[in-house]
Amino acid sequence: MRDKTKKQWTFRARNLIKGELARRGLNYDDLAAKLKQIGVIDSPDNLRTKINRGTFSAAFMLQTLEAIGCKSVDVKVE
């Protein structure tokens, strides 16, 4: 049961970032450029892999949300 719960949280984290990128019409090249502006260097391919895997750090999530100009997110638990 624990693995399923972890997978569910991973899926939600991944979808949160992917959703915020989609709402802004941004792709991984755009994200790499925006992260670079705040001092985070990462390739578009590495970002794609990291986000699709969904096992990134809280720091990476905050950096990403900051870089794309996200001021708030809906994280309600269903």
Q: How far apart are CA 58 and CA 32, in angstroms?
A: 18
Residue 41 pLDDT: 97
**C-alpha to C-alpha distance for 14 and 53, rounded to whole angstroms:** 7
Instruction: Please say whether the beta carbons of 21 and 11 come within 8 A.
Output: no
pLDDT at 6: 87
Q: What pLDDT sits at residue 78?
A: 57
**Residuewise pLDDT in 10s, the chain (78 residues):** 466 788 888 999 999 999 999 999 999 999 999 999 999 999 999 999 999 999 899 999 999 999 999 999 887 765
Domains of the chain by residue range: 2-67
pTM above 0.85, yes or no: yes
Helix segments in 2-77, DSSP class H: 2-23, 28-37, 44-53, 58-67
